[in-house]
A and B are shown apart, each in its own frame.
Chain A
Amino acid sequence: MKCDVCENEATVFLTQIINGQMTTVNLCETCSKAKGVTEETGFGLAEAFLSPSHRTESDTMEIVCDACGFTASQLKKIGRMGCPECYAAFRDGLDGLLRNMHKGTRHVGKRPSHLSAVTPQILPRQRASALKDAPPPAPVPAPLVPPPDIAKLRAELDLAVKEERYEDAAKLKSEIENLQPKASK
């Protein structure tokens, strides 16, 4: 059999299956070296088939936490989150992970009685969208005692009702009622 590139006798036979399509390439010693398919490490071969477009695509698909810049692959590697907001960013698939780790996927224990401790932005299921022109995120410390925000509490209450978390809803309702006569304590 002759080399597909030159007229020499082919000694390297390469079969590749890409997207279910099989192609066969026959090369002579010289041409195979020139194409880099017989490098000892074998990396030449792998590199040749891993199209660069494929790799960059997977990079841009990666979910990143807007708040701290932590990535899904870092999470996978170290098994820890970058910041509290990461739980919202990486919410997809979290339930499955938690089910393997814990007795349940919903917290039933202690709750802070000061609702200022609640992080409402985690509540809505949201996907991290890349903010291209945003500067590197520098987490802003929350104010020491954030002013109670009735609108925020109402939104939480709505969500609690929608999610049928009636115990939370009751708590939120009394919290709002407490705040209504006077805006600040």
Chain B
Amino acid sequence: MMRFATLIKNPADWMKGAGPHSDVVMTSRVRLARNLRGYPFPGFSQERQRIELLERARPVVEELPEMRDGYSEDYTELSKIRKQVLVERHLVSREHAARSSGCAVVVDRKQSISIMINEEDHFRIQGIRPGLNLTSAFEVVDRVDTELEGLLPYAFDPKLGYLTACPTNLGTGMRASVMLHLPALVLTEQINPVIKAIGKIGLAVRGLYGEGTEALGNLFQISNQHTLGEAEPEIIAQIEKVIEGVVRSEVTARAKLKEDHQTMLQDQIGRAFAILRYAHILTSKEALNLLSMLRLGADLDLVGNCDRSLIDMLLLEIQPAHLQLNAARELSPEERDSMRADLTRTRLQSIDGPGSFPPSQSNNGGTTSPTNDE
């Protein structure tokens, strides 16, 4: 089995800012909720029942062809920081990380499949792909699911489908979600009507870390809410169609910003770069929002020599648990803010910054360069 350090050291393909529509769509994730017959759901079971299920199921999961030689850990063996790192990478849920005895996670070598054991359901099988690619994410988890169903007795009812702890997951047990970066819709104040429209067609919009979290860094998650009465491909096709619409709106808004509000845009991106490049104290919220602006600048070719994957990796690395893992110790919030700034200062040395704008026609009377103090 793979060690934690080895797993984390190598970035997954979905962290590198590639894939279809990757200027707007960060990742596509699909998860399936599955349960075994004959065991109460984890939320209503005794510790010994959870351990019994774990001991029976974990070796089976580890031996699945996709998961072989991957990473597998019992939660009693996992420190708080390591669990949180997995949360920050979206490999486990916040709810699962909060549990301990009787829980485990198995991750494949490429960090594209993770299987949580004894989350709200006995199994949560998740696949992650870069960009807009729910179909491929579904294919991966579908294959793993089909393998697992041959080895363990699933709780399935012909009328109700896969039986889940929460009736909201009944049927397919599938949640397909897409992480979107929508800075232009936020800047042009079109985001609220967009969110409302998406809500009306039965999809949920959430912040960076799921339910009840803030949309930091202009990052939004859109996912299906209905799981019963529609087949998986239909659900996925509907979300992809909606997302393509959102992507078009975002791209249009970006073009309009660049066209009509270039000074404001240059100012925002320049400030973001300057702070990330020179600050010594950065909170996680501030850093996420600034990195969002820098990513927008990179996507609009307003920042010279800036690779999107550098920013997408930073979006992970600046998060609290990643910083603490890197420091190999627990850090106070103040220490984290200082180390976060150290990290962005260092990483941004390699990029030219937005000072190298193509000098646009001088029809605007405001500042022409955001870095004119240097």
Contact = CB atoms under 8 A, between A and B. Distances in A.
A87 B35 CA distance: 13
Interface stretch (A6-14, A21-29, A56-64, A141-149): A141-149
Q: Is the interface of B mostly helix, strand, loop or mixed?
A: loop
Interface string B209-236: 0000000000000000111111110000
Contact of A107 (B49, B152, B159): B159
A173 to B, nearest CB: 14
Nearest to A112: B149
Given A103-B228, A110-B172, A84 B37 contact: yes
Contact of B228 (A67, A81, A102): A102
B348 to A, nearest CB: 46
A113 B149 contact: yes
Interface in B155-171: 155-168, 170-171
Given A101-B168, A140-B38, A87 B160 contact: yes
Interface stretch (B40-48, B128-136, B289-297): B40-48
A125 to B, nearest CB: 11
Which one of B145, B151, B157, B161 has the highest number of Cβ atoms from chain A below 10 Å of its Cβ? Answer: B157
Contact of B227 (A68, A81, A102): A102
Contacts of A83: 39-41, 44
Contact of A80 (B166, B228, B231): B166
B125 to A, nearest CB: 12
A114 interface: yes
A146 B227 CA distance: 28
Contacts of A105: 228-229
A119 B157 contact: yes
A18 interface: no
Interface residues of A, number: 48
Contact of A79 (B154, B166, B170): B166
Given A116-B153, A119-B155, A139-B49, A104 B230 contact: yes
A117 interface: yes
- Band of interface residues on B: 35 or more
Contacts, number: 154
A119 B156 CA distance: 6
A97 B44 contact: no
Interface in B74-133: 120
B155 A84 contact: yes
B163 A103 contact: no
B232 A110 contact: yes
A107 B56 contact: no
Contacts of A113: 146, 149-150
Contacts of A155: none
B13 interface: no
Given A81-B165, A107-B160, A117 B153 contact: yes
Interface string A162-178: 01010010000000000
A84 B52 contact: no
Contacts of A160: 158
B170 A98 contact: yes
B4 to A, nearest CB: 30
A109 B174 contact: yes
Contacts of A117: 37, 149, 153-156
Given A83-B44, A139-B38, A106 B157 contact: no
B286 interface: no
B142 interface: yes
Interface in A64-95: 67-68, 70, 74, 78-84, 87, 94
B232 to A, nearest CB: 5
Contacts of B202: 103
Interface in A124-166: 139-146, 156, 160, 163, 165
Contacts of B150: 113-114
Contact of B167 (A81, A123, A142): A81
A116 B153 CA distance: 6
The 3 closest A-B pairs by CB, nearest first: A104-B229, A107-B161, A84-B155
Interface of A: 67-68, 70, 74, 78-84, 87, 94, 97-98, 101-114, 116-119, 122-123, 139-146, 156, 160, 163, 165, 168
Interface of B: 35-41, 43-44, 49, 52-53, 56, 120, 142, 145-146, 149-168, 170-172, 174, 202, 225-232
21 contacts: A70-B44, A78-B43, A82-B44, A84-B155, A87-B160, A94-B167, A98-B167, A101-B226, A101-B228, A103-B228, A106-B159, A107-B159, A108-B230, A110-B142, A117-B153, A118-B157, A119-B156, A123-B159, A142-B153, A160-B158, A165-B158
